[in-house]
């Protein structure tokens, strides 16, 4: 089938978010290839409203039961109401998202332990952070060598998964007031795996049937993700591979190279990608590439694995979730190497149209039609070299190639530690400048744009929303595929500060920052939790995360992980806006609990929006309300705080900072 005619007949493909995707699909190498964009176009109709709104129950073999709230004849065969079914489905989404992030973390912990034992090619790079993490895990770092300390940290981290009683160690990193709320509600997570298992048990047919009670367990499960699995993954990856610092690189499909062996790494676990990065730089491997006519090895990222190696190594990102198929249709990719999460089953079928080999590496995830090369962190470099050699062997088999020129410079690497450093250097690192500029009104507040991109959403909601926020002096943080989209639009470069409002622009130009700070992959949303906690600890903006003029959003969410992230932010005191659909909307009772009652319980709530302007309106309004509650709604003159003035600021969490417990 002539793809170009199909696309041009409607003035271009209406299902493609990015113009460069359309450009590639209309070129000769992509003719006859069917991608997700085409499948969405073929389906056309709106998805099942019962399923989309959360009121289709498949939890036993008497169903599926499609339930209509308020209609007696349309409750479940077991008597389950719309609110119970919607709550169960929501909780199961949270459990799946938590399991995904946490199983990622488990692999990281196991690799970390093996590294501490000297059994991998990796090393302990950030020893300062290692000692800080040891303190948070209840380990005295004094008089211990690095390998011994790393082993204790790894083994203690591994025990967090199987804990049955007590609480996760990192819960103590949250503001004291937030910890007290969790204790009072009974939602402090005991062990990561326990909360996932209990959530699945409670949502089995005939177990927990009070929708509010189910939502409470969903919050507990999500907290085990944000303050457990995700935070462990981020912190131990930083220690093992290096804590990100600002680095300039490029994004978009134009990073692929005609004269090099192109290998794209796709998925979420950086343990594999780090080994491939090492293998690609090996002189012996480069010599083998030159023997087949290539100049070398070009590694490029897809999805969140791309964000991981972008943040630490500056390796460019070829594309986000919606571009994974498009990367193959350029005809320039020798191998796409995947691990887990957000990997489309269609990839091997598309690869058959080209010379490309799709290689799965995780024992958790194989795909029909792909080559499986099991990855083992003990043999990391050996396996990585084998994969690179497979790609090299494909290079002479290339057919027609079309690589678009589109690529954009970005600055990434804004870890929590980096944000601290750029505000005061090594010896005066502090969030005080950020807090001061929020207090004096130059910065209205902080917003996080996170999550996926989605083939069912045609507009670049992320981009238009970010532009509106920064124009209103809101500093934007971003992670995941949203970060890649914002990078393509040029918003991750310091030059984009010219799009910001006058107050925010003045601050950004003083420190040389972009108006949108790339903080990593989707698992790295835990960095935002720590940043928010540090703002509270620093003082002047309330006693809890719920007091901050800050809010998050996922405008194009697709993955179950996004719902888990949203729930742990709400339970931590930060409201979130999701869209354009939400998995409980067919139960008004369940939706009212999430969108209204949760504010009374957690000090934060969910919102729903569809278009960029709606997201922006809600987010700016919420930030202004928080400012008013703090007494910051009136314009203030800029004040330069001397040391005496700083000491007078209210700092209720002195002594329990985010860098580790102090005495």
Q: What are phi and psi of 360, to 5 degrees?
A: -90, 150
Residue 52 scores a pLDDT above 70: yes
Tell me, what's the pLDDT at 325?
Answer: 95
- The answer to whether 380 touches 121, Cβ cutoff 8 Å, is yes
Q: In this structure, what DSSP letter does residue 318 have?
A: E
The strand pair at 56-57 and 261-266 is best described as unpaired
Residue 336 scores a pLDDT above 60: yes
pLDDT band, very low/low/confident/very high, at 634 (cuts 50, 70, 90): confident
At 72, is the secondary structure helix, strand, or coil? helix
107: its two tokens: 């692999």
pLDDT band, very low/low/confident/very high, at 10 (cuts 50, 70, 90): very low
56-241: CATH topology is: Substrate Binding Domain Of Dnak; Chain:A; Domain 2 (1.20.1270)
pLDDT band, very low/low/confident/very high, at 642 (cuts 50, 70, 90): low
- Weakest mean pLDDT among 47-56, 375-384, 430-439: 47-56
User: How far lies 76's CA from each of 48, 53, 62, 70, 73, in Å?
Assistant: 18, 15, 9, 12, 9
Cis ω for the linkage preceding 489 (within 30 of 0): no
User: 318: how many CB neighbours lie within 10 A of its CB?
Assistant: 33
Give percent above pLDDT 70 in the chain.
92
Question: In this predicted model, which residue has the larger pLDDT, 647 or 43?
Answer: 43
445: its two tokens: 């507040």
Tens-digit pLDDT profile for residues 233-275:
999 999 999 999 999 999 999 999 999 999 999 999 999 999 9
Secondary structure of 102-157 in HEC code, one letter for each residue = HHHHHHHHHHHHHHHCCCCCCCCCCHHHHHHHHHHCCCCCCCCCHHHHHHHHHHHH
Global pTM? 0.92
579: its two tokens: 């869209």
Tens-digit pLDDT profile for residues 546-587:
999 999 999 999 999 999 999 999 999 999 999 999 999 999
Give percent above pLDDT 90 in the chain.
82
- The architecture that CATH gives domain 409-555+609-634 is 3-Layer(aba) Sandwich (3.40)
Query: In 3-state terms, the chain is what percent helix, strand and coil (to 5)?
Result: 50, 10, 40
Tell me, what's the pLDDT at 27?
Answer: 81
- The answer to whether 479 touches 525, Cβ cutoff 8 Å, is yes
Residue 9 scores a pLDDT above 50: no
pLDDT band, very low/low/confident/very high, at 424 (cuts 50, 70, 90): confident
335: its two tokens: 């191998």
Apex CA 279: angle with CA 273 and CA 281, to 5°? 110
Q: What average pLDDT does this structure show over 188-217?
A: 97
Q: Of 293, 363, 367, whose CA–CA distance to 334 is shortest?
A: 293
141: its two tokens: 């770092």
Q: What is the mean pLDDT of the chain?
A: 91
Tell me, what's the pLDDT at 15?
Answer: 33
Tell me, what's the pLDDT at 643?
Answer: 52
Tell me, what's the pLDDT at 650?
Answer: 44
Tell me, what's the pLDDT at 644?
Answer: 56
Tell me, what's the pLDDT at 429?
Answer: 82
Tell me, what's the pLDDT at 137?
Answer: 97
DSSP symbols for 201-223: HHTSTTS---HHHHHHHHHHHHH
Residue 18 scores a pLDDT above 60: no
pLDDT band, very low/low/confident/very high, at 663 (cuts 50, 70, 90): very low
Q: Domain residue spans in the chain?
A: 3-28+35-43, 56-241, 253-397, 409-555+609-634
Tell me, what's the pLDDT at 124?
Answer: 97
| Site of tokens 């709106």 | 46
In DSSP terms, which residues pair with 409 in a beta bridge?
Answer: 250
- The architecture that CATH gives domain 253-397 is 3-Layer(aba) Sandwich (3.40)
* 478: enclosing H helix or E strand: strand 474-478
310: its two tokens: 């972008």
Question: In this predicted model, which residue has the larger pLDDT, 641 or 101?
Answer: 101
Tell me, what's the pLDDT at 277?
Answer: 97
Residue 509 scores a pLDDT above 70: yes
75: its two tokens: 């409750």
Q: What average pLDDT does this structure show over 321-347?
A: 96
Q: Determine the Cα–Cα distance for residues 231 and 529; give it in Å rounded to an integer.
A: 9
Tell me, what's the pLDDT at 25?
Answer: 78
Q: Tell how far CA 295 is from the center of its chain.
A: 34
Q: Of 247, 246, 540, whose CA–CA distance to 419 is shortest?
A: 246
Strand ranges for 480-549 from DSSP E: 516-518
Sign of the torsion formed by the C-alpha atoms of 641, 646, 651 and 653: positive
Q: Judging by beta carbons within 10 Å of its beta carbon (0-12, 13-18, 19+), is residue 279 exposed, middle or buried?
A: buried
Residue 226 scores a pLDDT above 50: yes
Say whether 253-397 and 56-241 share the same fold: no
Cα-Cα end-to-end distance for the chain: 70
Q: Determine the Cα–Cα distance for residues 115 and 123; give it in Å rounded to an integer.
A: 6
Helix 82-116 and helix 192-202: axis angle, to 10°?
A: 160
User: How far lies 300's CA from each of 271, 308, 381, in Å?
Assistant: 15, 11, 18
pLDDT band, very low/low/confident/very high, at 296 (cuts 50, 70, 90): very high
Tell me, what's the pLDDT at 35?
Answer: 83
Tell me, what's the pLDDT at 636?
Answer: 55
Question: What count of residues does the chain have?
Answer: 663
């Amino acid at each position: 089938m002539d793809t170009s005619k199909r696309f041009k007949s409607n003035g271009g493909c209406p299902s493609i978010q990015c113009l460069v995707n359309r450009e590639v699909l209309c070129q000769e190498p992509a003719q006859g290839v069917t991608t997700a964009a085409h499948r969405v176009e073929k389906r056309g109709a709106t998805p099942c409203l019962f399923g989309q709104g959360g009121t289709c129950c498949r939890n036993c073999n008497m169903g599926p039961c499609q339930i209509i709230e308020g209609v007696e004849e349309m409750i479940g065969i077991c008597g389950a109401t719309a609110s119970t079914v919607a709550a169960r489905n929501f909780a199961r989404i949270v459990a799946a998202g938590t399991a995904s992030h946490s199983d990622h973390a488990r692999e990281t912990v196991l690799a970390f332990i093996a590294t501490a034992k000297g059994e991998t090619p990796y090393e302990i790079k950030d020893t300062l952070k290692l000692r800080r993490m040891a303190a948070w895990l209840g380990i005295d770092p004094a008089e211990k060598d690095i390998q011994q300390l790393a082993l204790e940290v790894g083994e203690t981290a591994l025990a967090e998964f199987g804990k049955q009683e007590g609480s996760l160690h990192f819960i103590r990193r949250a503001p004291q007031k937030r910890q007290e709320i969790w204790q009072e509600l009974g939602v402090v997570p005991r062990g990561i795996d326990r909360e996932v298992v209990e959530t699945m048990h409670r949502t089995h047919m005939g177990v927990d049937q009070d929708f509010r009670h189910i939502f409470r367990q969903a919050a507990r499960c999500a907290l085990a993700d944000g303050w457990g699995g995700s935070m462990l993954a981020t912190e131990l990856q930083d220690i093992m591979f290096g804590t990100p610092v600002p680095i300039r690189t490029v994004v978009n499909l134009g990073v692929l190279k005609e004269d090099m062996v192109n290998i794209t790494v796709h998925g979420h676990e950086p343990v594999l990608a780090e080994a491939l990065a090492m293998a690609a730089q090996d002189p012996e491997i480069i010599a083998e590439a030159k023997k087949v006519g290539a100049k070398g090895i070009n590694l490029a990222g897809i999805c969140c694995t791309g964000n991981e190696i972008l943040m630490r190594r500056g390796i460019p990102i070829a594309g986000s979730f919606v571009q994974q198929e498009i990367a193959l249709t350029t005809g320039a990719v020798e191998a796409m190497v995947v691990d887990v999460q957000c990997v489309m089953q269609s990839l091997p079928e598309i690869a058959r149209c080209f010379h490309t080999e799709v290689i799965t590496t995780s024992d958790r995830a194989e795909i029909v039609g792909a080559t499986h090369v099991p990855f083992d962190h003990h043999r990391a470099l050996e396996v990585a070299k084998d994969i690179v050699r497979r790609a090299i062997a494909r290079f002479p088999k290339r057919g027609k190639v079309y690589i678009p020129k589109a690529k954009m410079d970005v600055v990434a690497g804004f870890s929590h530690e980096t944000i601290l450093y750029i505000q005061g250097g090594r010896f005066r690192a502090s969030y005080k400048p950020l807090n001061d500029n929020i207090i004096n009104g130059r910065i209205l507040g902080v917003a996080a744009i996170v999550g996926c991109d989605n083939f069912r959403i045609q507009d670049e909601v992320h981009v238009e929303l970010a532009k509106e926020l920064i124009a209103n002096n809101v500093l934007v943080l971003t992670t995941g595929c949203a970060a890649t989209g914002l990078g393509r639009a040029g918003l991750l470069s310091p030059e984009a500060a010219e799009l910001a409002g006058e107050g925010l622009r003045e601050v950004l130009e003083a420190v040389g920052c972009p108006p949108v700070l790339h903080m990593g992959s989707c698992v790295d949303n835990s960095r935002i939790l720590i940043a928010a906690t540090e703002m509270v600890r620093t003082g002047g903006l309330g006693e809890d995360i719920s007091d901050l003029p800050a809010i998050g959003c996922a405008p194009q969410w697709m993955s179950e992980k996004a719902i888990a992230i949203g729930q742990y932010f709400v339970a931590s005191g930060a409201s979130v806006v999701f869209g354009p659909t939400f998995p409980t909307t067919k139960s008004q009772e369940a939706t009212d609990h999430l969108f209204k009652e949760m504010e009374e319980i957690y000090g934060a709530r969910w919102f729903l929006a569809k278009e960029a302007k709606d997201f922006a309106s809600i987010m700016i309004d919420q930030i202004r309300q928080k400012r008013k509650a703090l007494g910051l709604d009136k314009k203030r003159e800029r004040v330069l705080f001397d040391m005496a003035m700083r000491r007078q600021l209210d700092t209720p969490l002195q002594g329990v900072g985010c860098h580790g417990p102090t005495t």
